[in-house]
Amino acid sequence: PPVDAALRRVYEAGPDPGAAVSLRFVLLGPPGSGKGTLASQLQESLGLEHLSTGEIFRHEVKRKTALGRQVERYVSNGQLVPDDLVVAVMTKRLTPARRRKGFMLDGFPRTVAQAQGLDTFLRQHGTSLTGVIALTCPAARLIVRLSGRQVCGTCDAIYHVRRMPPTRKGVCDRCGAALTVRKDAQIDTIRKRLRVDRTESAPLMAYYRRSKLLHRVDGRGTSEQALAKTMALLRREGWVRPGPQGRPIAEARVSAHQDGSVNGASRSFGRRGG
């Protein structure tokens, strides 16, 4: 299967022992594009940390931290948190260790002002983005995907009645709580969300296209295909460096999952949406 081939190549090509791959990505993609799933898979296979703004905010709100209280009214109304605040929160998480080891940003930046804030921060710390990966998918397909979504009210895990059903119908695999159909899984709501996303993301895509950082990945197929295409891109761009062949860790990790899951990543399907 393509996923095994793609992963085996990455592991075989993998970084020299001791020399970490430092890839600093922004992931873009409309809701339903499979962005969250791709992030989980890349986190698993390349060890890149996945920083999801929505998840960070929801976590802070739940824990009622100072930040949580500041962002709560925006998050609960589905309004964008002010740019300065988002940039401050997210750049604070881009610690020296993360800048060195690499990261994937998901849900940030969301505006050109945030993108500029991120660029400035990275430049001030002597680094920059490696690239921006935009997962693309036609609206009709996004609607089909989004309309079957179920969510766990307790741990935020996301399922899909057809594409990624839980093992036991209506029960979360991760924490055992009951699943509910998301209220945003209505067709009209989905159409509106996709429209808003297009309006929002167009200037951001243009910004990254101008900076020559933008790379599109076709997200129409399965999550394994999207991963394979992303891996191909990383290799083409030389972001995954050739190294010692056939490292044992590669073989062990790949052959352990003949079911097509990527080290269990497929079970964490879109731990958040998108």
Q: Give the catalytic positions in this structure.
A: 35, 110, 149, 182, 193
d(CA 70, CA 63): 12
Q: For the purposes of burial, counting CB atoms within 10 Å of the CB of 162, is it exposed (0-12), middle (13-18) or buried (19 or more)?
A: exposed
d(CA 194, CA 191): 5
Nearer to ligand AMP (CB atom), residue 76 or residue 245: 76
Contact flag: residue 208 with ligand AMP (CB under 6 A): no
d(CA 153, CA 151): 6
**Residue whose Cβ sits closest to ligand AMP:** 54
Closest separation between CB of residue 9 and ligand AMP, Å?
31
Closest separation between CB of residue 10 and ligand AMP, Å?
28
Closest separation between CB of residue 86 and ligand AMP, Å?
4
Asked whether 133 and 229 are in contact (CB, 8 A), the reply is no
d(CA 274, CA 106): 9
Contact partners, residue 19, CB within 8 Å, separation at least 6: none
d(CA 262, CA 4): 8
Pick the stretch among 76-84, 130-138, 186-194, 245-253 that binds ligand AMP (CB under 6 A).
76-84
Contact flag: residue 57 with ligand AMP (CB under 6 A): yes
Contact flag: residue 121 with ligand AMP (CB under 6 A): no
- Provide the mask over 17-56, with x wherever binding to ligand AMP is found by CB under 6 A and - wherever it is not: ------------------------------------xx--
- Which residues contact ligand AMP by CB under 6 A? 53-54, 57, 74-75, 78-81, 86, 107-108, 110, 114, 272
